[in-house]
Amino acid sequence: MVDAPANLPNYRYVSRKRRTKEDRRFISGRGKFVADVEVPGMKHVAVLPSPHPRANIVSIDTSAALALPGVHYVLTGDELGEATNSLFHGLDLPNVVWHPLAVGMTRYAGEWVAAVVADSRYIAEDAAELIDVEYESLPAAVDSEKMLDEDQPLVHPAHGTNVLFRKTWTWGPVADDFASVTNTVSYRARWGRSSTVPIETFGVVAKWDDTHEILDVWASIQMPQYQDQIASALRIPMNQVRVHNDVDVGGSYGVKRGIKHTVLVSYLAKKLGFPVRFIEDRLDNMSGGDAHGPDRIFDITMAFDDEGVIKSMKIRALDDVGAYPGRAPLQLGKPITALCGPYRVNSIEYEAISVTSNKTGQVPVRGFGQSPTNFAVETGIERVAKYLRIDRVEVRVRNLVRKDEFPWQIPPGSRYDSGDFHAVLESAVKTSNWDDLIARRDALRAKGRLAGVGIATCLEPGGGNNIFEFLFNPKLEITTFVESVLIKVDPTGVVSAMMCTTTSGQGHETLVSTIAGEELERDPDDIRVLHADSLEALPTRSPVASRMAIVLGTATSKAAREIKSKMITIAAHDLGVEQDRIEYADGEFSVRGEPARKLGWNEICHIAHKQFHRMPPGHELGLQAYAVQQVPGAGGLPNEKNEVPLYPCFSFQAHVPLVEIDPDTGKVKVHDYFIAHDCGTAINPDIVRGMIIGGVAHGIGAALYEKFEYDVDGQLLAGTFVDYLLPSAHEIPGVTDIEHCTPSPLTSLGQKGSGEGGYLGAPAAIASAVNDALAPYDIEINELPIRARDIEAALFEKTQ
């Protein structure tokens, strides 16, 4: 548990230690996840994956599968491809067609070729094995760097190249800045194909409601524009799609996209006339589902003066998005939001290259591409320190944006809203007892162990703003990332709030009830928060981009303040005074200076709902208010220099881990982990702390263990938890988290985002620690994950 920072306003509920609203149902075994949704008459789907990374489908014989008792239907790509539109891509790629089942050609090992509908998943799997597919296997395109060559096998022949996007932006006087200083470092950093891998796989249930002609969808989903994409693919209007947002999502961290699954089962449910469910098994998920994250090669040059002050950087990022891009290439766009990290860099050149390959498609992952970029930039900071022999903390101190410089605009146009980066870094150094850590490191080294202390500073942009998509695809001229809430007070005085999306662990019910309770001075425990379905819901863009505290939170404040204002109007009218004479405190509306003249909360609710004769003339009956919240500070298109403010709010962290490496096996043990963190006003400190530590755990996984490895032919080598290693309680150390609070000037209570920060900084911090441990051997590894075998091989080479 964390004490609230000392400089907090006198909040009743916000930033106070309070139990969450959601946890009670989970500890009782009463969560309602998609696999718990039971629709009468529901049938079950199993899919048949392609064993080939790239092959022509010559023929499919489904007769044996259809003959199996309990089997209702076998669907192939030809039928589904005819009946539905191509799924959505973020880039403008008219010749890259994407359907839930392969049409004519398979493009990765694991791509679904057919789907069986049966009485049980067991029978459906039996039947899938009876489908006879004849393939013509073809050589695959696997090595992402070779995609720029013309002689590679084409993943999408109609597109004509495996390059999906390639563009260079120059923000500021890059050439002049490079000419103005004498020092440069150039380096390569690689981010391995890892992901967040929730413990719940993706699942979806669809039912065609014949009575109302509505498609009902229950899904384990976390995606913007889900219902839009379902409607578009199925060629039905959006008001025929009802997504039920009251399904608990068993973890997502960005990846639960599920559009191909949803279109598949929705088509089947509509065609067959009974509800259909598809719950991925783990292999479905890891080989053919929405599982894989960014897979990037960075080539970076930094230009800096003799004091280590960085003037400019040139970044080239090559990202392998796999066979079907979806929104994945845009993950090269979001990092533009904080492209130079928390540092005062004057100019940036950025080349973004997105290539397709015969691998499972990439999906959005926590931070939407920011974590790999942060790792790559931090690697450069370490390089600058090493080049000039300056202390690694000191080089950061010299480059961080200073407290008195906010709002600070970086070359691509983002305006960092607020912060005290130096104080947070100092706090991390102090809390970690940096000198003592170095002494412990040296003591371990003296005993013949390898040990290292790491450091990373990083920003967490929060709030979302689609406008970076415009830089990649001008057809996506979207300048908002809206979120909404509806608050109602009923005749008995109790408060309900309706939010409009699913939740996958972020605690939105706690967020909304805490802020509404704070604004209305009502106990959050008595406020019910509902998840409106997509037909009831107000505009929403889903809980991505560390945005719900910022956008939903601010919407909640606004709606609650409007409720309070309406109640004041009713009180003033009933008490016969001007509105500005009414004071509200502790559930009572009284006349200033005459405390005996007052109305209670419940009485005003009664008037509003039932006593027209006591209402102000022309005033709306009932007590309800909604707020539709735009991203603060956003809304414009890029200017002629391609500068545009992206995400609005910037949280900051400094990470300090101590690691030890077994010199014989290369195995890394993270002993200690310290993080100083500033996300403005924390609405619920326990939730923020959990997000930070959980994010660090994800980052440790990405740094040391996790990779969707492929062989040279394009076969996935990590389709189970035996091959794709997830850190357990053994691998994740105790984390000491120190919270700072620099309120954002852009949000209702000064809150910023906190869902991604731990993950955005930890990979860089762990790499820093491992490389510090390897420094005595003159080894530097800038490719994640740094696995035991990588370290062992590097040591073996050096010591032979």
Partner 1 sequence: MSDIEITLNVNGRDRTVSVPPRMTLVDCLRDVLRLTGTHVGCEHGICGACSVMLDGEPIRSCLMFAVQAEGHSITTVEGLLKEDGELSDLQDSFWECHAMQCGYCTPGMLVASQSLLNENPEPSEDEIREAISGNLCRCTGYQQIVEAIQMTAKRRREGASHG
In the window 177-216, what residues touch partner 1 (CB under 8 A)? 196-201
Kindly identify the residues of this chain, within the stretch 525-584, that bind partner 1 according to CB under 8 A: none
Q: Among 172, 505, 633, 680, which residue interacts with partner 1 (rule: CB under 8 A)?
A: 505
Judged by beta carbon, residue 447 or residue 730, the one nearer partner 1 is 730
Diameter of the chain measured on Cα atoms: 94
Which of 330-338, 534-542, 664-672, 689-697 is the region at the interface with partner 1 (rule: CB under 8 A)? 689-697
Q: Is 726 in the site for partner 1 (CB under 8 A)?
A: yes
Q: What gap in Å lies between CA 445 and CA 660, rounded to an integer?
A: 9
Tell me the closest approach of the beta carbon of residue 38 to partner 1, in angstroms: 8
Is residue 686 part of the contact set for partner 1 (CB under 8 A)? yes
What residues from 15 to 34 belong to the interface with partner 1 (CB under 8 A)? 19-20, 22-31, 33
Asked if 6 interacts with partner 1 (CB under 8 A), we say no
What string of H, E and C letters represents the secondary structure of 76-103?
EHHHHHHHCCCCCCCCCCCCCCCCCCCC
**Residue of 787, 745, 50 lying closest to 418 (CA atoms):** 745
Sign of CA dihedral 204, 697, 468, 538: positive
Quick one: which segment of 227-235, 322-330, 586-594, 727-735 binds partner 1 (CB under 8 A)?
A: 727-735
* Residue 337 lies near partner 1 (rule: CB under 8 A): no
Task: Tell me if 691 contacts partner 1 by CB under 8 A.
Answer: yes
Nearest distance in Å: CB 494, partner 1? 23
- Nearby residues of 573 by Cβ (< 8 Å), 6 or more positions away: 614, 615, 616, 619
Report, in Å, the least distance between residue 17 CB and partner 1.
9
Please report, to the nearest 10 degrees, the dihedral formed by the alpha carbons of residues 320, 285, 221, 504 taken in order: -100
Query: Per rule CB under 8 A, is residue 122 in the interface with partner 1?
Result: yes
Restricting to residues 280-309, which ones interact with partner 1 according to CB under 8 A? 281-282
- The answer to the question of residue 507 lying near partner 1 (CB under 8 A) is yes
Binding mask 743-762 for partner 1 (x = CB under 8 A): ---------------x----
- Residue of 114, 155, 221, 249 interacting with partner 1 (CB under 8 A): 249
Q: Indicate whether 162 belongs to the interface with partner 1 (CB under 8 A).
A: no
- Cα 368–chain centre separation: 6
By CB under 8 A, is residue 246 in contact with partner 1? Answer: no
Can you tell me which of 693, 702, 764, 765 binds partner 1, judged by CB under 8 A? 693
Judged by CB, which is closer to partner 1: 31, or 173? 31
CA 74 to CA 373: how far, in whole Å?
43
Residue 24 Cβ vs partner 1, minimum distance, rounded to whole Å: 6
* Site membership for partner 1, residue 402 (CB under 8 A): no
**Among 43, 52, 99, 698, contact with partner 1 (rule: CB under 8 A):** 698
Cα 482 from chain centre = 16
* Residues facing residue 115 across a β-bridge: 47, 75
**What is residue 403's three-state secondary structure?**
helix
Residue 460 binds to partner 1 (criterion: CB under 8 A): no
- Environment class of 499 (CB within 10 Å of its CB; exposed 0-12, middle 13-18, buried 19+): buried
- Under DSSP, is residue 194 helix (H, G, I), strand (E, B) or coil? coil
Residue among 710 and 759 whose Cβ is closer to partner 1: 759
Q: Which two tokens stand for residue 3?
A: 């004490």
Task: Return the residue of 6, 446, 712, 729 that touches partner 1, per CB under 8 A.
Answer: 729
Residue 248 touches partner 1, criterion: CB under 8 A: yes
Q: Which is nearer to partner 1, 26 or 88 (CB)?
A: 26
* CA nearest to 424, candidates 153, 737, 152: 737
3-state secondary structure of 118: strand
153 lies in the site for partner 1, by CB under 8 A: no
Query: Smallest distance, Å, CB 196 to partner 1?
Result: 7
Three-state DSSP state, 114: strand
Assign 9 to helix, strand or coil.
coil
DSSP bridge partners of 459: 652
Which residues from 771-800 bind partner 1, rule CB under 8 A?
none
- Using CB under 8 A as the binding rule, whether residue 734 contacts partner 1 is answered as yes
Give how far Cα 59 sits from Cα of 101, 113, 132, Å: 14, 11, 8
> 424-455: string of b/e by CB count within 10 Å (b at 16+)?
bbbbbbebbebeebbebbeebeeeeebbbbbb
The residues that touch partner 1, with contacts defined as CB under 8 A, are 1, 19-20, 22-31, 33, 35-36, 38, 122, 196-201, 248-253, 279, 281-282, 504-507, 686-687, 689-691, 693-698, 720-722, 726, 728-730, 732, 734-735, 758
